[in-house]
Structure 1
Amino acid sequence: MPHILWMTVKFCGRCLLNMNTGSCDFAVIGGDMRQVYAARMLKERGYRVCCALLCGDEGLPEQELREAVCSARVVLAPVPLSVDRLYLNQKSGEGAFPLTELLDCLKEGQKFYAGCISEEFAYAVSDKGAEAIDIMKQEEIAVYNTIATAEGAVAEAVMKSPRNLHGSRCLVLGYGKCARTLTALLKGMHCQVQVCARNPAQLAEAAILADKAFEFGELEAALPDYDFIFNTVPAMILNRRMIENMNSAVCIFDIASAPGGVEFEAAEELGISAWLLPGLPGKYAPASSAEAIVRYLIGK
């Protein structure tokens, strides 16, 4: 009687995992605590998980990165994938891992998930016969990310300023996804919120929720009025000339993706408090952010 080999297959929302292919289902690599929580959640759901260069967790034994990536059907890399487009975003304290070496580890048929993947890297992954999926371009992930980012920005403002946010005069620069959520949160805390944006449709939308919405041509004259400024625009907006017009007690929080939009050297020279705040979801809500990513990956 012929022997029948039964292959255990798990159906994921975005990918089909054959449990007999490779030594693990997911390789979770690099990043911040979001990666740690994602690895835990995947293991709890019965998947075989290989870990490398995580930021530390005794319950998640690690492998060498090349071994982990080569053995997996799906690779879950950090959000963002890299902060300089050269090295993997990691907080493990080990030596930086070049993206070129990560690319060499990938093989045909793999799915590669990460956040903020450059077009150049995505094309290179495709040339290897693998598929690169930018999870930050998926609407459900992007929305959850704005919640964690907004809450993190407010937490930073509370900790770093001697003033209450309640009743304060706040400016939000830009009105994309993060700015919308942040504006709603600040209004819920009874702040006086104004929004500065370029897009006429965004200005019209912002005017519904904010106390005032105006164009960037009016920004310089308005700057002395604010206690808190939150920038979400990833381009130089608050340069030296703009900063010179601010009141000396203002606090600036830049939550835009790299390179941000504040001339921090000028702010320091002028005695203005300003902070660049990358990776807020990983710092303030890693479990919730990881849950959203895992739901997207496996469809449940």
Structure 2
Amino acid sequence: MNSTKNIAVLGGDARYLEMVKNMSKSDHIHIELVGFDQLKQGFSGARQIDIEDLDLSKLDAIILPIPGTNEEGYIETVFSDKKIQITAEWLKKLPKHCLVFSGIATNHLQDIVKEANLSLFPLMNRNDVAIYNSIPTVEGTIMIAIQNTDFTIHSSKVIVLGLGRVGMSVASKFAALGADVYVGSRSKEDIARATEMGLTGFHMGELSAYTAKCNILINTVPAMVVTDKVIQPMPSNALIIDLASKPGGTDFDYAEKRGIKALHSLGLPGMVAPKTAGEILGHVIEQIIYEEHLGEE
């Protein structure tokens, strides 16, 4: 970057502390923190400020928390008791080149950003972020599996549903730990890929035929695929780990009735590796700002 970029970070969790720490090292970035008034530590190149004191006309980017906004426009402020609301009227005061970042894009956030004629970047929808995040996600999944079972991963029968960015990483790492891994998918290409990886691929429609001997079932598919018929044959000491976004793909009520532990494990990167997760976000945001503003230099 040839000139300083002014960025406002509005709210956020532990990941954002590491993100700010890394981004503030740059000589070309100036950061203002809103919603961090309970934070005792400081960062060189960043200052804490109230939202009313932001000079909106000079901002090149704003970074909202991972959940974006709720349907009333309020954001998550882990390090503050103050409520912060983002409205279309507030966004309209930003320069037209100002970029808006969030983890996910709620309907409300999409609507108000569009009304303000700004560009929204939901980071969790990006392939690069998802691939980077698959690393701490897998490590967190392994941790959950170890903490919630009384048997080793080695030699256990593990079913992974979906062979996307997270599913592929989960399947390969559990196989590397010595598990007998089965991969369920509706895609012929994914089933072929699973076979190429030395795993057992099968069509999702046959899932219930594989669960009778399943020790750990890991779902990455954001649709109801782990149904009562799938859960019913499972051993009582089996574990279900659902990594899919809300509401998940598991019949949690039936699993509870059946006496099988089923965990909806969301946000693992931020839980098990906030430092790494923050570094990932900071790197990607800097890259996007550079690419988007390159033509303005």
TM band (smaller chain)? 0.7 to 0.9
CA distance in 2, matches of 1:56, 1:278: 26
Q: Within 2, Cα distance between the matches of 1:28 and 1:253? A: 33
- Identify the range of structure 1 (71-80 vs 284-293) with the bigger mean alpha-carbon deviation: 71-80
Residues 103 and 199 of structure 1: is their aligned pair in 2 closer, same or farther, counting only changes over 3 Å?
Answer: farther
Separation in 2 of the partners of 1:35 and 1:237? 33
Q: Does 1:28 align with 2:13?
A: no
Alignment of 1:98-177 (within 5 A): 101-106=86-91, 107-109=94-96, 110-118=98-106, 121-177=109-165
Secondary structure of the 2:208 match is helix
For residue 4 of structure 1, what is the aligned residue in structure 2?
Answer: none
Of 29, 49, 59, the residue aligned with 2:31 is 49
State the Cα distance separating 1:77 from its structure 2 match: 2.0
Q: What CA distance in whole angstroms lies between the structure 2 residues aligned with 1:175 and 1:134?
A: 22
Name 1:6's counterpart in structure 2. Answer: none
CA 1:127–1:256: 2 relative to 1, 3 Å = same
Q: Is the 8 A contact 1:66 1:102 kept in 2?
A: no
Distance 1:247 1:55 in 2: 49
| Cα distance change on mapping 1:161 and 1:119 into 2, 3 Å | same
Q: 1:51 to 1:208 in 2, by over 3 A?
A: same
- The alpha carbon displacement at 1:112 in A equals 0.5
1:75 aligns with 2:62: yes
Q: Is 1:27–1:69's contact at 8 Å kept on the other side of the alignment?
A: no
SS in 1 for 2:8: strand
Question: Are residue 185 (structure 1) and residue 173 (structure 2) matched?
Answer: yes
Q: What is the rounded CA distance, in whole Å, between the counterparts of 1:169 and 1:257 in structure 2?
A: 24
| C-alpha distance in 2 between matches for 1:230 and 1:124 | 36
- Shifted more, 80-89 versus 191-200: the winner is 80-89
How many angstroms does 1:175 deviate by? 1.0
- CA drift at 1:88: 3.0
1:277, distance to aligned residue in structure 2 (A): 0.8
The code of the aligned residue for 1:266 comes to Y
Equivalent of residue 58 in structure 1, options 21, 29, 40: 40
CA separation of 1:279/1:102 partners in 2, compared to 1, >3 Å: closer, same or farther? Answer: farther
Structure 2 unaligned spans of 5+? 291-297
TM-score by length of 2: 0.83
Matching residue of 2:186? 198
Does the aligned pair in 1 maintain the 2:88–2:112 contact within 8 Å? yes
CA contact (8 A) 1:255 1:277 kept: yes
Aligned-residue offset at 1:250: 0.4
- Contact 1:240–1:267 (Cα < 8 Å) also in 2: yes
Offset from partner CA, 1:245-293 (integer Å, 9 cap, x none): 2110101111111111112122222211111111111111222222222
Number of the residue aligned with 2:295: none
TM-score normalized by structure 1? 0.82
Matched AA of 1:148: P
Which of 182, 187, 196 lines up with 1:208 in the alignment? Answer: 196
State the Cα distance separating 1:130 from its structure 2 match: 1.8
Moved more, 185-194 or 40-49: 40-49
- Tell whether the 8 Å contact from 1:51 to 1:68 is kept in structure 2 after alignment: no
Aligned length: 279
Q: Find the aligned partners of 1:247 and 1:95 in 2 and give their Cα distance.
A: 48
Give yes or no for contact 1:113–1:133 (8 Å, CA) kept in 2: yes
**1:147, CA displacement in angstroms?**
1.2
SS at match of 2:22: helix
Paired residues of 2:37 and 2:48 also in contact (CA < 8 A) = no
Distance 1:85 1:231, change over 3 A: farther
Task: State the alpha-carbon separation in 2 of the partners of residues 166 and 68 from structure 1.
Answer: 54
Q: In structure 2, what is the Cα distance between the partners aligned to 1:125 and 1:220?
A: 44
Query: Structure 1 residues 130, 264: closer, same or farther in 2, change over 3 A?
Result: same
Greater alpha carbon shift after TM alignment, 187-196 vs 115-124: 115-124
Decide whether aligned partners of structure 1 residues 91 and 277 sit closer, same or farther in structure 2, where only a CA change above 3 A counts. Answer: farther
Question: Is the contact made by 2:135 and 2:169 (CA closer than 8 Å) also made in structure 1?
Answer: yes
How far apart, CA to CA, are the structure 1 residues paired with 2:95 and 2:49? 21
Partner secondary structure for residue 194 of structure 1 = strand
